[in-house]
Amino acid sequence: MSRSHWRNVLHHDDEPNEAMQRIDAQVAPLEELPDAVRHIRSLIARFDSLTHYRAFDNLDLIVRAIGAGTYPGQPAVDVLTRAWQMDDRRRRRAKAYVQTLQAWSEGTSAEEAQQVVGDAALCAELYGILGPLTVPTKAWLAASLAHTLKAFAYEAPDWLDEADAADFVRGVYRAALGRDPSPDDLQNRLAELAGGKSRGHLVREVFDSAESRQRQQWQVLEKLKADGE
C-alpha cells in the first residue's frame, strides 16, 4: 500500500485511506488543532522503519509526547529505513505497541488490555506513560501511531485476523473459488470460526478443496492458451 495513504502526512495532496479517515473523524479539522498536537502527529507521519537499531527509542519518545500533550524538546531519533530483516522478537514487540495503543485509545482499562496484549509488562509501562485518556486529541494521536506501526509490523495473517468475520469468509471464497459463499456456506463458516477454528485453517481448507484445485487447473490451461496465441 502507498505510504502517503496510510500515514496521511499533514497537508499531503493524497487522500488518507478509509482507516485513517475514521481515525481523523475523532478530532476537529487538522488545521485547527493546537500546534503541539500537529507537531506530534508530524513525528508519527515521519516514522519510517522498525528495523533501525533505535526504532523503539523513537517510538517511546512519541508515546511520551502523546502522554504529556507537548512536543518533545528534542527531535525524533533518526530512523531512516535500513535494509535489515525484521526479526520475530522485534515484530512481536511492535505488535504489542499496536495492541496497547489501540486499547488505550479506545478507553480499555489497563487490566483488560494486559489480558490481550502479547507483552503485559510493556502494556503496563505504556499505559503509565500515556496517563488518563482525558482529551480526544490524545486518543487520535495514539490511534494514528498504532495505524502507522501496523504497516511495518503486520503480516498478512495479522490483517486477516482483524477483518470482519463475514468479510473474511467472503474474501477467502472469492480468492480460492472465484465466487461468494452461499448463505448456508457463510453461516456454517461463521459458526466454525466462532467454535474455535482458526482463520489460517479455514484458508487452507478452502484453498485445498476439490473446487479450488479444479479452478486452479482451469486457470493454468487458460494461461497456456493465452501464451500460445
Give pLDDT, residue 1: 30
Are the CB atoms for 145 and 31 separated by under 8 Å? no
What's the whole-model pTM score? 0.75
- Pair (168, 149) in one structural domain: no
The per-residue pLDDT string of the chain (229 residues; one tens digit each, 9 = 90 and over) reads: 333 434 444 444 556 677 878 888 888 777 788 888 888 888 888 787 788 778 888 899 999 999 998 887 665 555 555 546 678 888 999 999 999 999 999 999 999 999 999 899 999 999 999 999 988 899 999 999 999 898 888 988 888 988 999 999 999 999 999 999 999 999 999 999 999 999 999 999 999 999 999 999 999 999 898 877 6
Give pLDDT, residue 9: 43
- Pair (121, 212) in one structural domain: no
- Pair (109, 217) in one structural domain: no
Task: State which amino acid sits at residue 144.
Answer: S
- Pair (22, 132) in one structural domain: yes
DSSP state of 28: S
Give pLDDT, residue 13: 52
Of 100, 124, 153, the residue at which a domain comes to its end is 153
- Pair (86, 189) in one structural domain: no
How many C-alpha atoms does 50 have within 13 Å on its Cβ side?
22
Q: Report the alpha-carbon distance of residue 30 to residue 25 in Å, rounded.
A: 10
- Pair (111, 203) in one structural domain: no
Output Rg (C-alpha) for the chain, integer angstroms: 21
Are the CB atoms for 126 and 101 separated by under 8 Å? yes
- Domain encompassing residue 47: 3-153
Q: Provide CB contacts within 8 A for 19, sequence distance 6+.
A: 6, 147
Of 153, 185, 211, the residue at which a domain comes to its end is 153
Number of domains in the chain: 2
Of 121, 153, 185, the residue at which a domain comes to its end is 153
- Pair (95, 165) in one structural domain: no
